[in-house]
Amino acid sequence: MEAEEIAAELQKVEAEIHDVEDQIRDLFERQEKLYERQSELKALLETRPVAVKDVSSSTTVQVEDWSGPFDWDSQADDIRFNVFGISSYRPNQREIINAVMSGRDVLVIMAAGGGKSLCYQLPAILRQGIALVVSPLLSLIQDQVMGLVASGIPAFMLTSTTNKEDEKFIYKALEKGEEDVKLLYVTPEKISKSKRFMSKLEKCNHAARLSLISIDATATMKVQNDLIEMLHIPKCIKFVSTVNRPNLFYMVQEKSSVGKVVIDEIAEYIKESYPNKESGIVYCFSRKECVQVASELCERGISADYYHADMDVNAREKVHMRWSKNKLQVIVGTVAFGMGINKPDVRFIIHHSLSKSMETYYQESGRAGRDGLPSECLLFFRPADVPRQSSMVFHENSGLQNLYDIVRYCQSKRQCRRSAFFQHFAEPLQECNGMCDNCAFSSEVKEVNASGHTKLMISLVHDMQEKDQRVTMLQLVDRVKNKQKQLDTTGAKLFVCVFVCGGRNLQSDLELKREEMEQLVVQLILDRVLNFVMMCLLAVKKEEFQHTAYATNAYVTVGPSANQILQGKKIIKMDVACRTKELDGYRKSIKHGVTSVLEFKLDELRKKLACHDGGIFPHSILSGQHISIISALKPSSIEELEKIIGKLKTEKYGDRIIEEVKKYGIAEDPNCDVLNGEPGTEIIPRKKLKTKKEVVLIESSNDES
Ligand SMILES: Nc1ncnc2c1ncn2[C@@H]1O[C@H](COP(=O)(O)OP(=O)(O)OP(=O)(O)O)[C@@H](O)[C@H]1O
Ligand SMILES: [Mg+2]
């Protein structure tokens, strides 16, 4: 074959390779979608009370009615009220208890703080014998055993912290049944590692003294299926309650690259929003960070202390107790301070860095508001935290995939935060009621076509790969910035199309800010245009050969979807939050600002409506920004109001708001007598807004602030 023929055939083969790659990618995406649909349908099926086919036999098993009367009802009610101090069951709790009391295997999926513990603790007290509870974390076990013992229930824990005497007592109870033990808490390690314990457990079971086994862990659809298979409980009854926590307000805040600034913002948020020392938790990425953040919060006048797995057990228990008794406002913890922490009145959960998965974040944020009252979950996110977190999880089974799910959650400037949880747990979408930042504050979002930047990034990474050089995400951003400067000097512009909200294209040479470029790299990783590869660097300290410190770095390489971009088959659009000065000015003035009569009355109205709606925040009804714009524009019709607060809120609250505007909006002079001295409506002088111009509806624009 001639060289031309070979080259022609090579080109043909390569083109075919790309096509096949595209087909594989499409198939992967289709498979992903089918999996999602499959789990959605399975979850939906669970919620339909239909006769289910018993997989192990040809007969259909009627769904039993677990809400009917049972012999133990009065005893159960007595224990629920007199031991646990609980006046009524929450949805599904009674049915679950009845199924457990009937000796059935049960799988319970219930929201964090939903009340799962009662579902096994109450039957454990009612039934004869010892209930074994397998629980993942020491803090959870301590919390539960302390609570039970305080209610007079003989509960014990068998963990690495149990002293010899207690251990002997417990083994005797298991073996001979002479001692009074109703619940025994153990960790999964105790089950998997202690042969002695397992032999005692066998004896207890053979003597029919094991009343029930409860495994207290979180379970996505996949984990549920694994559990049913591993525990051989194909006929278990599944009770699936919603994972929704309607009283939690989720928000994501851009995290400054300056550590001190982040601590200042956290301290200011706690002081401003929770001046009455309401309890909160701050989660950090590492133990070192815990200690540092705790001490810096103390320097700023916040009563905080740290909690992590390296501390000795007594020190941990001491911090936990001080916080539980409100002697400490904030605990700064790692994931070790997590599951099952049961303080009902935790008002805020702050994440100093993103969690490693949606699951973990759901669990950790779920520590807030267990008493059902409004509480806030604030996550500080900066793209530079992603490589750091990815180097920690990449070796775990689907570790990166799980991390990328929560990165999508953090990067999104449009999607309702709550809907991300429903998708993750394969649950049908539910109303958010404005209880997340993307729903409550319609932050101005601009869609930017960043294909130009993307092509530049791909070619830079590709060139470095060719030279067998490595580049981290931050180094890549530096190189793009430098390249941009070179282009500027040569007069060439890196063009980026800006899609303004109205869909009109404005061609403009828009420079992306540094953090927007970092955000773009992360988005390209999510879209598989770029890749993170982990390099374990063996850093051996010269003078001490016996110590090796492993450092794992995440480097960027070209991903499988890069070709589509280079060939112009796909464009990369990116959401950029743009806050015009006025918008920030309004937020500041509203936050610290003063109010006119109408603003004052709208603020009163939103508080009333929020109470009426139960468990949601006033600012989910009307944000501060909405109040200011309504007060300035004084809409006189539902149509005009809809342009300010959107269709959903207008349908729900529009009439009441228009009524307030009509009643109090007429007076320009804040000293008008419309209030005729109504109590509590003293007028606070209105601060002159810095900008002279009247309030205008903020259009998205291409002028970067
Ligand atoms: N029926 C009920 N009425 C009122 N409060 C309840 C009820 N059931 C449980 N609680 C309370 O709700 C709080 C959370 O209960 P529990 O710890 O069992 O939740 P959980 O489902 O185990 O949460 P997590 O998934 O976070 O472990 C506890 O303070 C508990 O006393
Ligand atoms: Mg629990």
**pLDDT (tens digit per residue) in 228-285:** 888 888 888 988 888 899 989 999 999 999 999 999 999 999 998 888 899 999 999 9
pLDDT band at 143 (very low <50, low <70, confident <90, very high): confident
Nearest Cα neighbor of 516 from 634, 382, 395 is: 382
pLDDT at 538: 54
The length of the chain, given as a count of residues: 705
- pLDDT cut 90: percent of the chain above it: 35
**pLDDT higher than threshold 50 for residue 700:** no
Backbone angles phi, psi at 49, to 5 degrees: -75, 75
Please list, residue by residue across 357-391, b when 16 or more beta carbons sit within 10 angstroms of its beta carbon and e when fewer do: bbbbbbbbbbbbbbeeebbbbbbbbbbbbbbbbbb
**Which of 108, 370, 425 has the most ligand 1 atoms within 8 A of CB, as the residue to mutate?**
370
Q: Find all residues with CB under 8 Å of 237, minimum gap 6, and list them.
A: 64, 66, 99, 104, 105, 106, 107
Nearest Cα neighbor of 96 from 78, 74, 114 is: 114
CATH number of 72-240, picked from 3.60.20.10, 3.40.50.410, 3.40.605.10, 3.40.50.300: 3.40.50.300
The span from the CA of 580 to the CA of 626, in Å, is: 16
Please list, residue by residue across 1-14, b when 16 or more beta carbons sit within 10 angstroms of its beta carbon and e when fewer do: eeeeeeeeeeeeee
Q: Find all residues with CB under 8 Å of 109, minimum gap 6, and list them.
A: 219, 224, 238, 239, 240, 241, 243, 425
- Residue 108's DSSP bridge partners are 239
Nearest Cα neighbor of 366 from 334, 331, 341 is: 341
pLDDT at 689: 31
pTM over 0.80: no
**Distances 302 to 256, 272, 278, 293 between C-alpha atoms, Å:** 20, 12, 11, 11
Average pLDDT of the segment spanning 584-606: 60
Of the ranges 154-163, 377-386, 527-536, which is most confident?
Answer: 377-386
pLDDT band at 681 (very low <50, low <70, confident <90, very high): very low
pLDDT at 125: 95
pLDDT at 638: 92
3-state SS, 533-549, equals EEEEEEEECCCCCCCEE
The span from the CA of 454 to the CA of 450, in Å, is: 6
Listing DSSP states for 570-587 in one string gives: ---EEEEE---HHHHHHH
Of the ranges 300-309, 388-397, 585-594, which is most confident?
Answer: 300-309
pLDDT band at 150 (very low <50, low <70, confident <90, very high): confident
3-state SS, 595-607, equals CCHHHHHHHHHHH
pLDDT at 537: 58
User: How many angstroms does the Cα of residue 112 sit away from the middle of ligand 1?
Assistant: 8
Q: What topology is assigned to 593-666 in CATH?
A: DNA polymerase; domain 1 (1.10.150)
CATH code of the region 248-441: 3.40.50.300
Question: Has the ipTM of the complex gone over 0.90?
Answer: yes
Pairing of strands 183-186, 130-134: parallel
| Location of structure tokens 């904030």 | 330
The span from the CA of 625 to the CA of 645, in Å, is: 10
**pLDDT higher than threshold 80 for residue 415:** yes
**pLDDT higher than threshold 80 for residue 207:** yes
Closest ligand, as measured to the CA of 342? 1
The span from the CA of 470 to the CA of 145, in Å, is: 51
CB atoms within 10 A of CB 137: 19
Atom of ligand 1 nearest to the CA of 367: 26
**pLDDT higher than threshold 90 for residue 699:** no
**pLDDT higher than threshold 80 for residue 63:** no
Side-chain-side CA neighbours of residue 530 (13 Å): 30
Is residue 365 within 6 Å of ligand 1 at its C-beta? no
3-state SS, 84-142, equals CCCCCCCCCHHHHHHHHHCCCCEEEECCCCCCHHHHHHHHHHHCCCEEEEECCCHHHHH
**Which of 81, 116, 425 has the most ligand 1 atoms within 8 A of CB, as the residue to mutate?**
116
Between 20 and 169, the more confident residue is: 169
Domain 446-538+550-577 in CATH 3.30.390.30? The answer is no
Q: Which two tokens stand for residue 511?
A: 């420079």
Q: Which of 24-38, 42-56, 62-76, 350-364 has the lowest mean pLDDT?
A: 42-56
Question: Which residue type occupies 542?
Answer: K
Per-residue pLDDT reduced to its tens digit, 277-313: 999 999 999 999 999 999 999 999 999 999 988 888 7
301 conformational bin, left if phi > 0, alpha if psi -120 to 50, beta if neither: left
**Which of 88, 245, 342 has the most ligand 1 atoms within 8 A of CB, as the residue to mutate?**
342
User: How many angstroms does the Cα of residue 272 sit away from the middle of ligand 2?
Assistant: 31
Contact 509, 488 (CB under 8 A): no
pLDDT at 271: 93
Q: Find all residues with CB under 8 Å of 167, minimum gap 6, and list them.
A: 158
User: How many angstroms does the Cα of residue 397 sit away from the middle of ligand 2?
Assistant: 25
**pLDDT higher than threshold 80 for residue 407:** yes
**pLDDT higher than threshold 50 for residue 695:** no
**pLDDT higher than threshold 50 for residue 24:** yes
The span from the CA of 610 to the CA of 604, in Å, is: 10
**pLDDT higher than threshold 70 for residue 578:** no
275 conformational bin, left if phi > 0, alpha if psi -120 to 50, beta if neither: alpha
CB atoms within 10 A of CB 158: 21
pLDDT at 59: 38
pLDDT band at 487 (very low <50, low <70, confident <90, very high): confident
Backbone angles phi, psi at 339, to 5 degrees: -50, 130
Average pLDDT of the segment spanning 615-643: 81
Between 219 and 365, the more confident residue is: 365
Atom of ligand 1 nearest to the CA of 144: 17
| Location of structure tokens 């409100």 | 326
What average pLDDT does the chain have?
Answer: 79
Closest ligand, as measured to the CA of 241? 1
Nearest Cα neighbor of 293 from 380, 364, 214 is: 380
